Structure 1
């Protein structure tokens, strides 16, 4: 088995197990069993559990932001894209394996004792904030730096609320709050089709 294949299988197993059960609850032997990679090869790829957790978070960051950006880019108007973030969040919150923010979860378990994990979490949050900054700048917002900070807090609040309550509707309430701060900054999108389409898709799936 090539190293790239082994690393991919290990990270796939880590993503499912760490996100679904928590970092501390999952040992390296369980990762080995789920991945089908030998323990020797596991430690050749990742010398420690901390290294594996960091790699899992770094890959999840790229995938998470990529999925978000793909959904948001479907909006033709720059003014509609900031609110499309919350439409995507609502879709994500409705997935059966949703367990909240993987980064905050990992930070709560390992952030105090692992600089590498803490850095991966902070880097993710900075990248998300930077992405939001780009969206509001493109939309012509007044004071985009402050607006990006506000939206980042609303996004994190929505994720945490949805995880605790199990209610995907937290995204809709966050969307309404975001619309208020966006309007105050001079950004008023007019497209509500994305949100209605998301609702209809979920109603068909659960109704």
Structure 2
């Protein structure tokens, strides 16, 4: 087994165990035994648990964000793309191993402790906010913030009651927000254009 294969096996084990049981509940020896990577190689690749947690969250962020972006890219228009976010969430919330947001869970467990972990959590949430801002459109910062709250709220509710319903409720709320935003008059800036 080379280092690349060992790293993949370690990250696979870490993701399965950390997401299902919690970061603090799972020790490095459990990661070693589940991955079947020798302890010496584990510590060669990830010298500390913080490095493993950070790598696990970075990999999860890349997959999660790419999957969500892929879902919204198929929409025909901006409103459809926003609805696609909540449809994607409904599918995620219905997965048998869904346990909520890995990033908020990590932050909840570790607080502001490990800087690398906190950076990944903040970056993930920032990327999600940026995607929602892209979908909301220029000058719609309030709408993007409101959509973020709907996404995060639905995810928190689904963590307690898994299934698609929290996403469906949030989708209806997002549709109401979009309709209200469409009815609002747009103000012109000093140049006579809408901001």
Q: TM-score, normalised by structure 1?
A: 0.85
Contact 2:13 2:34 in 1 (8 A): yes
Alignment of 1:1-207 (within 5 A): 1-137=1-137, 143-186=139-182
SS at match of 1:55: helix
Q: Which has the larger radius of gyration?
A: 2
Task: Report the Cα distance in structure 2 between the residues aligned to 1:109 and 1:17, rounded to whole angstroms.
Answer: 14
Contact 1:86 1:171 in 2 (8 A): yes
Q: How many residues align?
A: 183
Contact 1:111 1:117 in 2 (8 A): no
Task: Report the Cα distance in structure 1 between the residues aligned to 2:178 and 2:102, rounded to whole angstroms.
Answer: 27
Task: Report the Cα distance in structure 1 between the residues aligned to 2:104 and 2:131, rounded to whole angstroms.
Answer: 18
Task: Report the Cα distance in structure 1 between the residues aligned to 2:2 and 2:142, rounded to whole angstroms.
Answer: 47
Task: Report the Cα distance in structure 2 between the residues aligned to 1:113 and 1:78, rounded to whole angstroms.
Answer: 38
Task: Report the Cα distance in structure 2 between the residues aligned to 1:30 and 1:163, rounded to whole angstroms.
Answer: 25
Contact 1:81 1:135 in 2 (8 A): yes
SS at match of 1:85: helix
Contact 1:20 1:99 in 2 (8 A): yes
Q: Shift of residue 38 of structure 1? A: 0.7
Q: Shift of residue 112 of structure 1? A: 2.8
Contact 2:79 2:178 in 1 (8 A): no
**Structure 2 unaligned blocks of 5 or more:** 184-195
Task: Report the Cα distance in structure 1 between the residues aligned to 2:79 and 2:149, rounded to whole angstroms.
Answer: 20
SS at match of 1:147: helix
Range 51-60 or range 113-122, more displaced: 113-122
SS at match of 2:23: coil
Q: Deviation string for 1:64-99 (max 9, x for gaps)?
A: 011111122122223310111000000010110000
Calculate the aligned-residue CA RMSD, in Å: 1.4
Contact 1:7 1:45 in 2 (8 A): yes
